[in-house]
Structure formats: structure tokens, C-alpha cells
Amino acid sequence: MQLAFLNPQGNFDAADSYWTEHPDFGGQLVYVKEVALALGQMGHRVDIVTRQIVDSAWPEFAGGEDRYPDAPNVRILRLPAGPPQFLPKEQLWPHLAEWVDRLLAFYDDEGSVLAAYTTHYGDGGLAGALIQARRGTPFTFTGHSLGAQKMDKLHATPKTLAELDQRFHFKERIMAERVAMNRAGIVITSTAQERFEQYGHPAYRGAVDPTNDARFRVVPPGANLRIFNPTPGPADAVVSERIASAIVRDIATQRRRLPLIIASSRLDRKKNLTGLVEAFVATPELRALANLALVVRGLENPLTQRDQLHGEERAILDEIAAAVAAQGAEGRVTSFPLNSQEELAAGYRIAAADGGVFALTALYEPFGLAPLEAMACGLPAVVTRNGGPSESMVEDGREFGVLVDPTDPIDIARGLRRLLADEAVWDEFRRAGMERVESRYTWERTAAGYLAAVETLLAGGGAPGDMPIPAAFTDPEQATLDVATLSALYFPET
């Protein structure tokens, strides 16, 4: 079977360039790559289709075709659309019709007939809907995150809507998501909670019914067990030296043998790194048990190199430094980079060897792949209770990770102390965590879930709708969307 993954934003190459360094290069790209590779291993031909970027600041993405080593069944196709330079995802909407034209022409010229498309984020979903409207090819839609939830987090009001839309282009995003989830044969979510909460938002009323089992499949992501496992790999020696140097640089002499609390995430408000730091520095009993390590990709010493960052990223590190200083907690917090998945896995193994823990205290986490990757390396996890981890970390009363309230510093500290203060408890969570990932959360299982969904579509299953596609997406030079339409969807009672 030949399949294509439609992912216009960000980009892909064998080096995983810029991953986690830019908002468009986050976990969604990991997801698409790993599912595609797993399907390729199963013998299917898979294309990851994205946008070509000819830009001196992004030289890795100028070629029209690329591949991953040892993956002969998987291609990376980059198709031009709009101006040649890099564009953030918010600016791609008027160029997606052209991108679809190029995609269809490419496959026509090649003589390929694709069985189905799997589409990702609102932009990929819209592209799938445009193709389906023209060719009838079925597609699945994976939103990853939806615009209405982002509007909720930004506390959108009728007065602030126009300003937020100017920055984030919500009117295009919400309409594209509505079209994608309506016209997709099957919508794929990572958790049941995502299905009912995100797709049940009032902004999507009339587009899809989250209670309709024919429209949805819950297919959890997985950890790459080739990389994330307890066996030392080639990167461990280098990472061990880097962490040891950071500890000598930042941690007080008498504390250097304490375990590490590892926090590895983007510098993003929703990840709530400041809340984790505040919980740590304000709790003497926790500080006595461990040191805190902040992992920031690309900077050798993130807390002292804050001037190299800008905007929200700089503000978050400034707040963290201020919280540490306010509590006199210098000598207890370190920071260092882990610049690839291999280095992340090495860091997790090194922390686990000394009895450390992984912490993700995000305000909301749609799924939460990072803690599963840490757990696969033998590093127990303390994780937000808000979102997907409430399903992955607990089942039938058995705990695989410790869930905490990310808005409560006392509860964050409690969860961390629960693991760090009792070696027997730590060891039980270590074993339970590895077992959980190996038995349920692998990319091979995710790929099998996608394949089952596609086979259902090809057998005539699923339940695609026929919502009209706004002219702003088919002929953007002649038509536009307006904020009033967005307001009516998001604020139906006003």
C-alpha cells in the first residue's frame, strides 16, 4: 500500500534539524516520522509530504526529496508553495491550495495512485479535504492540538479576539479544523479524553460528533525503543561528561552526589517550568533529596545565556532565575543541553542510574510522550494530571507514574518526594514504567492503529461529511474569512 502523510508545517530531514528549537518543530514531527518509519518497516511505501523551503537560514530543506538512512520505503517530499522562504505555520493558509496543486501534479507525473492520506494539524487536514473534494481519496485527520483549546488558554474574549486572530490566524485555523474533522473518514486521537474534550468544544459544534464511534479511533503514540531503552548507547559517555561538568559548575560541592530531577521541554508557558522550579526551591524537604536539572536544547548553560533568547523563552528563563535567587537556591539548580533523541535517552539513563526522576508539570498535556520516553529508559516520572497522562499513567487502579496538580506547588513537591524519599517506591515505579511502555506505547502499535483505520476507510467504513470548503481556502486571492464568523463559532451565546 502507498500512503502519504500530509504535514505542511515545519520540515523533516535525516538529522531532525531544529527539533524542539522552534514551535513548528515540536512533537508532531516526531510523531509523523516515527509512524511513517514503522509503516515502512511493515513493507508499505510511505511519503512524508511537507513544504519546500529555499532560505539561507534553513538550508537543510531546499531539496525536493530526502530520505532517512536504512528506510528505503519512506520518502520525504518537499513541494513549493507561496514564497520560497520559511513561513511559520500561521502564515501558510493562503498557500495550501497551491501546495495541493503541486502535490497532485507530482503524483500524476509519477504515475502513483495513493490509497489514502493521513493528515496532521489543521493545515494538513485542510489539504486532505481539498484533495478529497477533487479526487475522492479518503483521509484520516490527526489534529495533535486544536485551535479552540489554544484560544481557551489565551483567555480569548470578544474584545481581544481580533488582536489574537491577527497574531495566530485563528479564523483560518478553526475553519480549517472544522472542515478537516468533518470531511475526514476517521479522526485519530491519542486519548479518549482528547476525543471528547477537544472535539466536543463548542467551536466545533456541527462539524463532528465526538460520541459517534464510526468517526473516531483512539491510537496512542509510542516511544522509539531503539533509542529510548535502559541499555547504554553511543551518546552516553559524552552526555555523562557534559552533565558532570554542569554539576561541578552549578551545584554546591556537598550536594553533587544527589539525584537529579530532570525537566526537559520547550520554553513554553504551557509547560509550566516556572511552576516546577518554584515548587522545588520553596520546599526544603525536596531540596534535601535532589538537585533540579533544566534541559534546554542548543545552549550550553541556559540560565546564564538568557541574553541569547528572546520573547517568551527569555522571559521564562528570567523568571526561573529570579525564583532561584529569591529562595537562595543557588547551588541546587543546573542546566545543560541534550541536543538529540539519542542524547535525551542518554541523559535519562544517567539520571536513572543515580536514582533521579523525570518531571513534566505542564498545565495541560494533550498526550505526554516525553515521560513515556523517560520511563522506557528506566527513569520514573512525575507528570501533570491534566490531559493524556491521566490515561497513560494509571489503569485499573495501577500506577505507572505519579500524577500531580501542576497548579499546586505543594502537590508537585509531594509527587517528587514520593519517589525520591523511598528507594523501594522508586524501584517499583521504575519497573512498572518500563513494562507499561514496552507493552502498550510503541510506534509499531501506533502504526498498526493507523493501518487499521486506513483499511477501514478502503473497505467503505468511516463516516466522512460533506461540509463546504470556504472559498478563502480554494481561491484565497478572491475571498477571505472574517473575525465575525470566528466569534459566532467560539462565542455562540453572545
Looking up residue 486, the CATH number of its domain turns out to be 3.40.50.2000
Percentage of the residues of the chain whose pLDDT score is greater than 90: 88
Q: What is the mean pLDDT of residues 192-207?
A: 95
pTM: 0.83
Report helix, strand or coil for 256: coil
What are the pLDDT digits (tens) for 219-246?
Answer: 999 999 999 999 999 999 999 999 999 9
204 DSSP assignment: G
262 DSSP assignment: E
Q: Is 438 exposed, middle or buried (0-12, 13-18, 19+ CB in 10 A)?
A: middle
Distance of CA 345 to the CA centre of its chain: 17
Residue 493 has pLDDT above 80, yes or no: no
**Is 72 found in the same domain as 218?**
yes
Contact 228, 443 (CB under 8 A): no
What are the pLDDT digits (tens) for 8-67?
Answer: 999 999 999 998 778 898 888 999 999 999 999 999 999 999 999 999 999 999 999 999
Q: Is 98 exposed, middle or buried (0-12, 13-18, 19+ CB in 10 A)?
A: middle
**Is 292 found in the same domain as 185?**
no
**Is 431 found in the same domain as 390?**
yes
**Is 268 found in the same domain as 318?**
yes
Answer whether residue 230 is part of any domain.
no
What are the pLDDT digits (tens) for 368-393?
Answer: 899 999 999 999 999 999 988 999 99
Number of domains making up the chain: 2
**Is 315 found in the same domain as 212?**
no
Task: Name the residue with higher pLDDT: 296 or 486.
Answer: 486
Taking Cα atoms as reference points, which of 421, 413, 428, 381 lies closest to residue 258? Answer: 421
**Is 115 found in the same domain as 193?**
yes
pLDDT of residue 179: 98
Q: Is 444 exposed, middle or buried (0-12, 13-18, 19+ CB in 10 A)?
A: middle
Whole-angstrom Cα distance, residue 245 to residue 233? Answer: 20
Contact 348, 373 (CB under 8 A): yes
What are the pLDDT digits (tens) for 273-313?
Answer: 999 999 999 999 999 999 999 998 888 888 888 888 889 99
Q: What is the mean pLDDT of residues 194-202?
A: 95
Residue 445 has pLDDT above 70, yes or no: yes
pLDDT band of residue 367 (cuts 50, 70, 90) is confident
Q: What is the mean pLDDT of residues 448-474?
A: 95
Q: What is the mean pLDDT of residues 446-465?
A: 94
pLDDT of residue 266: 85
**Is 242 found in the same domain as 200?**
no
- Residue finishing a domain among 398, 419, 440: 440
Whole-angstrom Cα distance, residue 189 to residue 67? Answer: 27
Answer whether residue 228 is part of any domain.
no
Whole-angstrom Cα distance, residue 491 to residue 415? Answer: 38
Taking Cα atoms as reference points, which of 283, 306, 280, 284 lies closest to residue 293? Answer: 280
| Strand intervals (E) in 401-463 | 402-404
Domain, as residue range, for 14: 2-222+444-490
Whole-angstrom Cα distance, residue 448 to residue 468? Answer: 32
Residue 95 has pLDDT above 70, yes or no: yes
Whole-angstrom Cα distance, residue 158 to residue 212? Answer: 31
135 DSSP assignment: H
Taking Cα atoms as reference points, which of 8, 10, 73, 11 lies closest to residue 38? Answer: 73
- Residue finishing a domain among 440, 466, 482: 440
